[in-house]
């Protein structure tokens, strides 16, 4: 009997346990739906309008040249009409045709995020919040953007920055809107990192990005004194710069922005094949001569830092394929692309529309394989890289003046001064730390001064310097970050923002242009590090830029901010080329070819690259500005990836709504958290195997 009772109790206990489990599970599901509906909601981001911080459909890619991991956009694949076949590394410029047979080289879904639907029930939205709302022109769509304009104000977009003033105060002047520290750090975008310099560039003697400043006449090659006592000494391989501290005066190095473009790697690949053949044949004299020629070929002039986004710099199938009936071909100029004597023949490529993988494999072989390719094909591919690939709106059309820099330094003296500066429109905004005391002094050259209005925390201030106190005391290793964003200077040491005695803010014109002279390269070499009687070693340096908001109601239009007559093959453009003919021949001889006619995006690149013309040209200072009225209970949003964002600037909003804002009623909430970014490794059933833990976190 006892055993029977115990058995019945055990059975009944199991039933009760199972019932409790099911009931608990059912309650959890009910609560989850309630929680989802009223507190938070999950979304998947489909497009890249908020890249780089938030990713839409994309490809996670490791560059095999420099090992930099970046995310290339693949939003074009959302509707199945196109496919990304190649990406451009933002760090070294290498164009890699993707092996689509590898799962990880195919597009994966965008970031999965949680949205706080209660966020604005108890507080007003703040400027720079990342928000989710109903598309006012199509209520079935949800948009994710950054909140830029608030109710009852007038918004001005100029020079990539945001200015506002009260809507009803006719006497008010526009004031630049500055980001908080955490928003700035979240939004700033990496331009260059010395730790990703490819070994190949050392072999080519491609110039180090950081070096002492030479002369324009000598192509900004380092001056003869570089490497001598009292001057900066470069390493032979990799990146490392040091100075012994015997210098009594300030001695500096500056950042030269000369990331190789796509055509350089194409030419290099052919030279590499030729060089390897000569080495295999034992023709050492020829090998030595060819290597010396490489050093001459690959020495570029620096360029402006522009609004390039890794997410946007891709090549799609539609850019490179030609379809005839049921066959797909490489472009016609590639039909005889293999030169005489090559080991394999890629000519006459025609593939079934069902066998496009083979087609892409052949394209990859042409671009980065081990075959000598006909010179005519190399020339045509080079032309396409310069005028067509990637698309015009993704190549960086606007100069970005708001920059930041990080230095990894080892101080090897107990005294001396370590300084740094960022140039904007020819003005050097400088910082200097006395390493004996840790005192920081910020200043503006040319008699400039800081200006800040009175607030509840600080008095009104106008003065030539702003000061702070760092923890640096003599010898030691530190990471120093310095930024000039939104007309405000900030300094961090080892991750800590330095408190200043006054806000380091200043005033400028709203539309600025870069400046250059032979005596002072200005914005051509926009970031510097200097030492005065201080032994110090620089082991790594990183340059960042701010988001640039384009003042155009259609960002996909080439050069929407610029005057049409200045970016077309007009008489004005031809007169401009003739006026600066000597300098054009030095910077880019393409423009001196007879009868040259190229798309507008290349005219934009001409103005950006032709630094001897910056001071005289109205190209920059005559750019468009946009203004918008934000009424009561209305809001003005934009995407951080301005060239790829259909947002409140868009003419379609104005045409369909009669306004460029959305009403408070369309708010869904504030973007809260990336809870599942696309993982690392191959996806399985559209769910990555290994979560990308570094990207999981709060959205800023």
Is residue 22 one of the residues assigned to a domain?
yes
Given a contact cutoff of 8 angstroms between Cβ atoms, the answer to whether 144 and 130 are in contact is yes
Is residue 417 one of the residues assigned to a domain?
yes
Specify whether 374 is located in the same domain as 455: no
Ramachandran bin of 164, using left for φ above 0, alpha for ψ from -120 to 50, beta for the remaining angles: beta
**Domain edge (last residue) among 369, 389, 409:** 389
Specify whether 251 is located in the same domain as 341: no
Q: What would the DSSP string read from start to end of 136-189?
A: TT-TT-EEEEEEEE-TTEEEEEETBEEEEEESS-TT---EEPPPPHHHHHHH-E
Give the per-residue SS3 of 617-631.
CCCCCCCCCEEEEEC
Specify whether 272 is located in the same domain as 383: yes
Q: What would the DSSP string read from start to end of 260-290?
A: --HHHHHHHHHHHHHHHHHHHTT-HHHHHHH
Specify whether 272 is located in the same domain as 318: yes
**Domain edge (last residue) among 359, 389, 419:** 389
Is residue 155 one of the residues assigned to a domain?
no
Is residue 51 one of the residues assigned to a domain?
no
pLDDT for 605-656, tens place per residue?
888 999 999 998 889 989 999 999 999 999 999 999 999 999 999 999 999 9
Specify whether 509 is located in the same domain as 425: yes
Residue 137, classified by CB atoms within 10 Å of its CB into exposed (0-12), middle (13-18) or buried (19+), is middle
The three-state secondary structure class of 242 is strand
Given a contact cutoff of 8 angstroms between Cβ atoms, the answer to whether 559 and 397 are in contact is yes
Is residue 83 one of the residues assigned to a domain?
yes
Is residue 696 one of the residues assigned to a domain?
no
C-alpha angle with apex 258: 73 to 105, nearest 5 degrees? 25
Specify whether 242 is located in the same domain as 279: no
Q: Which two tokens stand for residue 324?
A: 């005839």
**Domain edge (last residue) among 364, 389, 414:** 389
Specify whether 459 is located in the same domain as 405: yes
Given a contact cutoff of 8 angstroms between Cβ atoms, the answer to whether 551 and 623 are in contact is yes
pLDDT for 59-99, tens place per residue?
989 998 999 999 999 998 888 888 898 898 999 988 888 88
CB neighbour list of residue 363: distance below 8 Å, 6 or more residues apart: 85, 97, 320, 330
Is residue 503 one of the residues assigned to a domain?
yes
Given a contact cutoff of 8 angstroms between Cβ atoms, the answer to whether 155 and 148 are in contact is yes
Specify whether 248 is located in the same domain as 331: no
DSSP assignment letter at 613: G
CB neighbour list of residue 593: distance below 8 Å, 6 or more residues apart: none
Distance separating the N- and C-terminal Cα atoms of the chain: 68
Mean pLDDT per 10-residue segment, the chain (700 residues) = 34 51 57 61 93 93 92 89 88 87 81 93 95 94 97 97 95 96 97 92 85 93 96 86 96 95 80 87 89 76 94 83 55 45 40 56 73 74 67 73 98 98 98 98 93 84 97 98 99 98 95 96 98 97 98 82 77 84 80 66 84 91 94 98 93 93 97 86 54 87
Specify whether 272 is located in the same domain as 375: yes
Tell me the β-bridge partners of 492.
481, 497
Helix (H) or strand (E) holding 335: none
Q: What is the pLDDT of residue 392?
A: 45
Is residue 171 one of the residues assigned to a domain?
no
Specify whether 403 is located in the same domain as 540: yes
The three-state secondary structure class of 193 is strand
Q: Which two tokens stand for residue 279?
A: 């080495």
Specify whether 413 is located in the same domain as 336: no
Look at the chain and report how many structural domains it folds into.
4
**CATH code of the domain covering residue 241:** 2.60.120.560
Specify whether 265 is located in the same domain as 216: no
CB neighbours (10 Å) of residue 385? 20
Supply the range of the domain harboring residue 380.
57-108+261-297+314-389
- Rounded Cα distance between 10 and 46, Å, is 52
Q: What would the DSSP string read from start to end of 461-505?
A: EEESEEEEE-S--SSEEEEEEEEEETTEEEEEETTEEPPBSS--B
């Amino acid at each position: 009997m006892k055993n029977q009772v115990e058995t019945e109790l055990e059975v009944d206990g199991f039933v009760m346990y199972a019932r409790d489990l099911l009931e608990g599970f059912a309650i959890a599901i009910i609560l989850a739906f309630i929680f989802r509906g009223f507190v938070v909601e999950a979304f998947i981001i489909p497009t890249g309008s908020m890249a780089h911080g938030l990713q839409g459909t994309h490809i996670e890619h490791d560059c095999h040249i420099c090992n930099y991991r970046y995310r290339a956009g693949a939003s074009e694949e959302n509707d199945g009409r196109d496919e990304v076949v190649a990406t451009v590394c933002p760090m070294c410029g290498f164009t890699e045709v993707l092996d689509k047979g590898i799962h990880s080289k195919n597009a994966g879904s965008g970031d999965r995020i949680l949205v706080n639907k209660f966020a604005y029930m108890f507080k007003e939205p703040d400027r720079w919040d990342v928000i989710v709302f109903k598309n006012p022109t199509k209520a079935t769509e949800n948009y994710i953007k950054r909140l830029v304009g608030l109710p009852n104000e007038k918004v001005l977009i100029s020079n990539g920055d945001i200015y506002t003033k009260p809507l009803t105060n006719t006497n008010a002047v526009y004031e630049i809107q500055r980001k908080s520290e955490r928003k700035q750090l979240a939004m700033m975008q990496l331009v260059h990192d010395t730790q990703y310099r490819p070994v190949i560039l050392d072999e080519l003697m491609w110039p180090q990005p950081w070096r002492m400043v030479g002369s324009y006449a000598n192509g900004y090659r380092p001056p003869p004194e570089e490497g001598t006592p009292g001057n900066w000494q470069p390493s032979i391989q990799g990146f490392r710069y040091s100075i012994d501290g015997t210098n009594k005066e300030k001695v500096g190095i500056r950042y030269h922005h000369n990331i190789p473009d796509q055509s350089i790697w194409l030419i290099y690949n052919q030279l590499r094949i030729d060089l390897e053949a000569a080495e295999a044949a034992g023709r050492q004299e020829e090998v030595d001569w060819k290597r010396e020629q490489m050093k001459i070929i690959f020495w570029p002039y620096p360029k402006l830092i522009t609004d390039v986004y890794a997410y946007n710099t891709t090549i799609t199938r539609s850019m490179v394929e030609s379809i005839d009936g049921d066959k797909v071909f490489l472009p016609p100029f590639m039909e005889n692309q293999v030169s005489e004597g090559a080991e394999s023949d890629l000519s006459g490529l025609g593939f079934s529309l069902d066998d496009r993988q083979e087609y892409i494999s052949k394209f990859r072989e042409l671009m980065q394989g081990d075959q000598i390719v006909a010179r005519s094909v190399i020339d045509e591919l080079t032309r396409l890289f310069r005028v067509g690939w990637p698309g015009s709106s993704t190549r960086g059309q606007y100069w970005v003046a708001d920059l930041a820099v990080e230095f990894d330094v080892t101080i090897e003296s107990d005294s001396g001064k370590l300084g740094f500066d960022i140039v904007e429109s020819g003005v050097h905004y400088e910082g200097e730390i006395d390493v004996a005391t840790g005192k920081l002094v910020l200043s503006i050259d040319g008699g400039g001064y800081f200006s800040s209005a009175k607030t509840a925390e600080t008095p009104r201030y106008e003065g030539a310097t702003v000061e702070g106190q760092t923890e640096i005391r003599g010898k030691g290793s530190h990471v120093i970050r310095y930024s000039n964003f939104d007309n405000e200077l900030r300094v961090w040491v080892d991750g800590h923002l330095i408190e200043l005695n006054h806000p380091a803010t200043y005033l400028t014109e709203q539309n600025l242009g870069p400046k250059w002279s032979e005596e002072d390269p200005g914005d051509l070499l926009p970031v510097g590090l200097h030492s005065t009687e201080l032994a110090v070693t620089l082991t790594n340096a990183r340059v960042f830029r701010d988001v640039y908001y384009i003042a155009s109601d259609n960002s996909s239009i080439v050069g929407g901010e610029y005057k049409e007559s200045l970016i077309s093959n007009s008489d004005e453009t031809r007169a401009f080329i003739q006026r600066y003919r000597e300098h054009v021949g030095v910077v880019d001889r393409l423009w001196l070819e007879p009868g040259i006619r190229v798309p507008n995006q290349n005219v934009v690149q001409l103005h950006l690259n032709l630094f001897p013309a910056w001071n005289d040209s109205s190209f920059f200072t005559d750019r468009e500005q946009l203004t918008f009225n934000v009424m009561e209970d209305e809001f003005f949003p934009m995407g951080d990836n301005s060239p790829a964002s259909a947002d409140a600037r868009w003419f379609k909003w104005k045409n369909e709504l009669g306004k460029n804002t959305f009403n408070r009623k369309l708010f869904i909430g504030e973007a809260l958290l990336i809870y599942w970014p696309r993982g690392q490794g191959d996806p399985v059933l559209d769910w990555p195997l290994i979560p990308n833990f570094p990207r999981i976190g709060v959205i800023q």
